[in-house]
Amino acid sequence: MKYGLVRPWVFWFLLFAAGTAVCWQNPLQQAATLTRAGRYAEARQALKNAAEPSDTDQRIAFHRLKAAIASGLGEFPEAAAEMQVGLLLSPANSNLLIATAAAELKAGQTDAALKHARSAGENPVALALIGDIEEKSGNTAEAITAYRQALALAPTNAQYPIALASELIQHQAFGLAIAVLDQARQTFPRSAKLLVLLAIAHYAAGDTREAIDSLTDAIALEPSLNAAYLCLSQIVLQSASAPPEKVFHSLCAWNSNVCAALQLRQARETSDEALTQQAIDQLKRAPQSDSVAHCALGRAYEWRGQLPAARRELELCASQDASPQNLYVLALLYQRMGETILARKELAARDELLRRMSEQTTAGLKALRTFTGAPTNPPQ
């Protein structure tokens, strides 16, 4: 899986420039306003009968506006085509080259995107985009080189160490990623996102304590950063030991289902049946898409000896989150129920995951997907 492709810093070219420095009268001005508001279908309707301007700069902006509308509607090949028409009007314009390359990458036109991004010159935005293109093409070394060059040209832009470190983590170069992020922290001491990524690198490398400390610091810097809580909950729930009291309270304040999963562990250790039932009642109210709830409920039912109910929940848990740990827990339940063929199947799937990487590395890369915007369960 490729993470974070067509990063936010390149897409602003499509949206920002579409309506700037242009004194159009309606309907063009109206379409530009609607586009900036994200009302793409209305913008297209407003633009339906508009004539293309005669001035070159306004013609370029006209096609960028049409590209932005198409992109907003998910019509990526059409957006790329509009950008290519605009580029013909000013083929040496570096910003236009970058915007065209970004649209082409989104449309899957990687060869054209790479050609145009390289034509933009020694520009950190262009180099970061080249990194994205090379990543999508599976050229890891070239992607890392491009991200390093972007960072060298713009060391005060926090997006570039994040892009470089994400690529390094994805390809299991955890020590290098930690070195990049530790250095970046000197420049960006208050970047919570850097701390989250540093935590992911530490965790994937096997250092749970450093990971938890970094995430706790990230939450202190930016209490609304959902990715920090998501990564912290994944780490804590994968761990066999109880989290520090501060972490427990922080996660309970953030997500009631994660809190209930942690309370189940606490209740089992203290034989608190009332707390166990309270946590189960909370988890049963969770959405069907909440893997945390299914995994925790499955464990709780198994502890109580309710094996059919445990099987139902743990199968949902493993289907939604096929981590080595979840596959192993399901296999043990199958063995307990006498389902030896199913147990062997789950253990084989787990062994295949572990053949490629360690259990903690797998969890760390899952956290990276969380950080870079993959769908996750929302707070409850």
Report whether pLDDT(24) > 70: no
Lowest-pLDDT choice from 88-97, 221-230, 234-243, 358-367: 358-367
Instruction: Please tell me the number of Cα atoms within 13 Å of 325 on its side-chain side.
Output: 17
End-to-end CA distance of the chain: 28
Q: Return the pLDDT at 117.
A: 97
Q: What is the mean pLDDT of the chain?
A: 87
Per residue in 191-210, pLDDT tens? 999 999 999 999 988 899 99
Q: Which two tokens stand for residue 126?
A: 């262009």
Instruction: Please tell me the number of Cα atoms within 13 Å of 111 on its side-chain side.
Output: 0
Report whether pLDDT(370) > 80: no
The whole-model pTM stands at: 0.76
Give the span between the Cα atoms of 14 and 96, in whole angstroms: 9
Topology of domain 1-120, per CATH? Answer: 1.25.40
Report whether pLDDT(270) > 60: yes
% residues pLDDT > 70 (the chain)? 87
Question: Most distant CA pair in the chain: distance in Å?
Answer: 79
Q: Return the pLDDT at 241.
A: 76
Task: Give the domain ranges of the chain.
Answer: 1-120
Question: Alpha carbon of 46 to those of 49, 68, 371: distances in Å?
Answer: 7, 14, 37
Q: Return the pLDDT at 206.
A: 86
Per residue in 152-184, pLDDT tens? 999 999 999 999 999 898 888 889 999 999 999
Residue 105 · residue 133 · CB < 8 Å: yes
Q: Smallest Cα–Cα separation from 4: which of 201, 192, 162? A: 162
Region 266-288 average pLDDT: 94
Report whether pLDDT(20) > 50: no
